[in-house]
């Protein structure tokens, strides 16, 4: 069987033929190279319409027999480019009289790694130009576990290189320059499993403008940005209890990023797979391969329903080719828990949390993060307590060894005991915390503990009883702020965490929100809607 794939979301006019009996993929790509600056949508579309017929012709003439289906990128991407590719794919499927398959480009980026690695249910890090997110499969969809709060990772790097006058694309140039660099301090922003590049990019531009050596800035930019991506990938592995990671997207061609991810996985005993470069950057090969998988599942696209979608999110895709209903929980070990951040030794009275060295990070960045987070975690845990939020008592803090000793609280993590009334309790506590100017930073269902015992099913929501008592732990990513946006991000993180751990997340979320409003500010909920409405995929 032979599947023709066509890709053209932005810069790559690409066609490929996937031949199943030899398991080989022929890819022909014509890249758009802007004369100056970044990608201009109009120029990209002109390039697409010039180049698409030729790359398709080359791919077809390379096929050693008839084509059985045509797969194409439906989105996300630049509208004018997508429409050209959509039109070409529809015309081909009609003239060849074969099925048409509309593929989500981001899902193709992650599925190529899953198909080639043979991994069963990996966490997927997509590090591409216009996107950056961590995905995990659960019950028929790829869930976005964490994502960028502003630009895609490649675009962030490209903006920096434009500022210093380097031609597009910037990623490979930064990688080259970084080879001679030394570490300087730059911002590092991870909030829960989301992350942001705007602060670090403006700091990097300023650093260059004020005379720092460009190699040093490039080196440090890579160290921080890739450590952020690696940290959230590790958090996603830890939250979901998975032990496989695949990488996708053009930035994945960067050797330092692959090295950090491989090292992190190695340290926690997980498997890591990165496809070869021609399958990482935008290419029609990944479209053809996913097209075949979808064809086998009977998931073809009628022409009447094949419109492109420039904001097509990966979590909108109904994953027809996977039927597994996944359990996300892992049985958390008894005495010593290796979280994403720290090793936690659990005694019956005391819990000792030690932030171990992360060897994938630059030593200076590593020392800074471990010390800062240890000190701040102890302070915030105590301050939240004073604000009336149940948290463990802090018995001892040692910033030098990055160790804190806490009181043992609760019997289970919330994710194992999710009930409406416990979620309401969490809502009230988070509201109270925010009123005192404390941002938790990582309020997931793993970072709330609850007293054991079942809640009677007929219990009215809003009642507070001992068995529903919840405690906030792990303030390691917390900080003080009076910005509504920061509070709203806490809500967003909790919302995503519910979605990742419960089948009735929507119901629980409504309970949470109404309880939050008992102690918190309505503005925060309004801001959350704003955040969630923001198109990060444009
Ligand atoms: C929607 C679609 O059009 C978009 N595609 C895309 O962004 O192209 P992709 O090939 O996945 O990634 C290109 C990015 O990858 C970066 N890049 C390429 N080589 C790199 C390297 N060695 N190190 C770092 N970044 C690199 C480039 O600077 C550029 O920003 C996407 O997948 O988000
Ligand atoms: N004070 C405590 N009382 C009881 N259990 C605790 C306490 N602190 C931590 N734990 C247990 O240890 C686990 C890991 O702790 P914590 O979240 O602080 O570590 P972490 O490394 O920051 O984890 P992650 O980054 O994955 O959230 C918690 O999910 C919880 O089960
Ligand atoms: Fe891409």
State residue 461's pLDDT score: 45
Q: Is-contact 149 190, C-beta < 8 A?
A: no
327 occurs within a structural domain: no
Residue 120 annotated among the catalytic residues of the structure: no
Distance 427 CA to ligand 1 centre (A): 39
321 occurs within a structural domain: no
Residues with CB under 6 A from ligand 1: 9-10, 76-77, 105, 109, 128-131, 152, 154-155, 157-158, 169-172, 175, 249-251, 253-254, 281-282
CB count, 10 Å around CB of 389?
23
Q: Are residues 58 and 108 in the same domain?
A: yes
Per-residue pLDDT reduced to its tens digit, 472-498:
999 988 999 999 999 999 999 999 899
Helix, strand, coil distribution of the chain in percent, nearest 5: 45, 20, 35
Residue 357 lies in domain: 342-407
Q: Are residues 41 and 167 in the same domain?
A: no
Is 420 one of the annotated binding-site residues? no
225 occurs within a structural domain: yes
53 phi/psi in degrees, rounded to 5: -60, -40
State residue 138's pLDDT score: 84
Q: Are residues 44 and 133 in the same domain?
A: no
CATH code, domain carrying 443: 1.10.510.10
- Give the atom of ligand 2 at the shortest distance from the alpha carbon of 412: 31
Looking at the structure of the chain, the number of domains it has is 4
Q: Is-contact 127 274, C-beta < 8 A?
A: no
In the numeric block, the tokens 């959350």 are attached to 528
67: CB partners within 8 A, 6+ apart: 2, 3, 4, 17, 60, 96, 98
pLDDT band at 139 (very low <50, low <70, confident <90, very high): confident
| Most informative mutation of 30, 33, 168, 171 for ligand 1 (most atoms within 8 A of CB) | 171
Residue 407 has pLDDT above 60, yes or no: yes
Set 30, 299, 366, 442: catalytic member = 442
For the question of an ipTM over 0.90, the answer is no
Q: Are residues 159 and 291 in the same domain?
A: no
73 occurs within a structural domain: yes
Q: Are residues 362 and 389 in the same domain?
A: yes
Torsion of CA 50, 52, 55, 57, to 10 degrees: -100
Is 270 one of the annotated binding-site residues? no
Q: Are residues 397 and 436 in the same domain?
A: no
CATH code, domain carrying 128: 3.30.420.40
Q: What is the pTM of this model?
A: 0.81
Per-residue pLDDT reduced to its tens digit, 222-252:
999 999 999 999 999 987 889 999 999 999 9
The ligand placed nearest to the CA atom of residue 129 is 1
State residue 194's pLDDT score: 86
323 occurs within a structural domain: no
- Give the atom of ligand 2 at the shortest distance from the alpha carbon of 355: 21
Least confident of 52-61, 207-216, 347-356: 347-356
């Amino acid at each position: 069987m032979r599947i023709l794939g066509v890709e053209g979301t932005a810069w790559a006019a690409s066609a490929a033929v996937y031949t199943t009996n030899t398991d080989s993929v022929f890819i022909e790509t014509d890249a758009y190279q802007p004369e100056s600056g970044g990608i201009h949508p109009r120029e990209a579309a002109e390039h697409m319409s010039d180049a698409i017929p030729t790359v398709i012709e080359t791919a077809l003439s390379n096929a050693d027999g008839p084509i059985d289906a045509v797969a194409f990128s439906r989105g996300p991407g630049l509208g004018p480019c997508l429409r050209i590719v959509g039109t070409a794919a529809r015309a081909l499927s009609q003239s060849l009289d074969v099925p048409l398959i509309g593929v989500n480009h981001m899902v193709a980026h992650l599925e190529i790694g899953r198909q080639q690695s043979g991994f069963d249910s990996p966490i997927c890090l997509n590090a591409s130009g216009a996107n950056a997110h961590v995905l995990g499969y659960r019950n028929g969809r790829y869930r976005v576990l964490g994502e960028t709060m502003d630009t895609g990772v490649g675009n962030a790097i490209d903006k920096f290189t434009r500022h210093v006058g380097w031609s597009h694309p910037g990623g490979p140039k930064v990688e080259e320059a970084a080879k001679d660099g030394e570490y300087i301090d730059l911002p590092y922003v991870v909030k829960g499993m989301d992350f942001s590049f705007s602060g670090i990019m403006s700091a990097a531009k300023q650093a260059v403008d004020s005379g720092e050596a460009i190699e040093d800035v490039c080196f440090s930019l890579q160290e921080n940005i890739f450590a952020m991506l690696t940290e959230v990938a590790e958090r996603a592995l830890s939250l979901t209890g998975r032990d496989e990671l695949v990488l996708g997207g053009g930035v994945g061609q960067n050797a330092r990023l692959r090295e950090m991810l491989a090292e992190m996985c190695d340290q926690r005993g997980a498997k890591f797979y990165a496809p070869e470069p021609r399958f990482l950057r935008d290419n029609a090969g990944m479209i053809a391969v996913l097209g075949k998988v979808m064809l086998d599942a009977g998931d073809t696209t009628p022409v009447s329903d094949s419109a492109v979608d420039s904001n097509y999110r990966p979590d909108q895709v109904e994953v027809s080719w996977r039927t597994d209903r996944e359990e996300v929980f892992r049985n958390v070990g008894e005495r010593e828990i290796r979280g994403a951040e720290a090793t936690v030794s659990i005694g019956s009275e005391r819990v000792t949390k030690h932030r171990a060295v992360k060897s994938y990070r630059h030593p200076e960045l590593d020392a800074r993060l471990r010390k800062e987070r240890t000190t701040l975690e102890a302070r915030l845990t105590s301050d939240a307590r004073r604000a009336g939020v149940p948290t463990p008592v802090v018995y001892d803090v040692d910033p030098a060894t990055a160790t804190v000793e806490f009181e043992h609280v609760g019997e289970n993590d919330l994710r194992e005991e999710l009930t409406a009334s416990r979620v309401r309790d969490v809502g009230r506590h988070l509201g109270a915390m925010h009123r005192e100017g404390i941002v938790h930073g990582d309020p997931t269902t793993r970072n709330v503990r609850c007293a054991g015992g079942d809640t009677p099913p007929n219990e009215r929501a809003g009642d507070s009883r001992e068995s529903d008592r919840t405690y906030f732990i792990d303030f390691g990513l917390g900080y003080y702020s009076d910005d509504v946006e920061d509070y709203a991000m806490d809500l967003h993180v909790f919302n995503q965490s519910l979605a990742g751990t419960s089948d009735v997340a929507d119901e629980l979320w409504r309970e949470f929100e109404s309880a939050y409003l008992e102690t918190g500010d309505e503005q925060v909920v309004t801001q959350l809607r704003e955040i969630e409405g923001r198109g990060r995929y444009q």
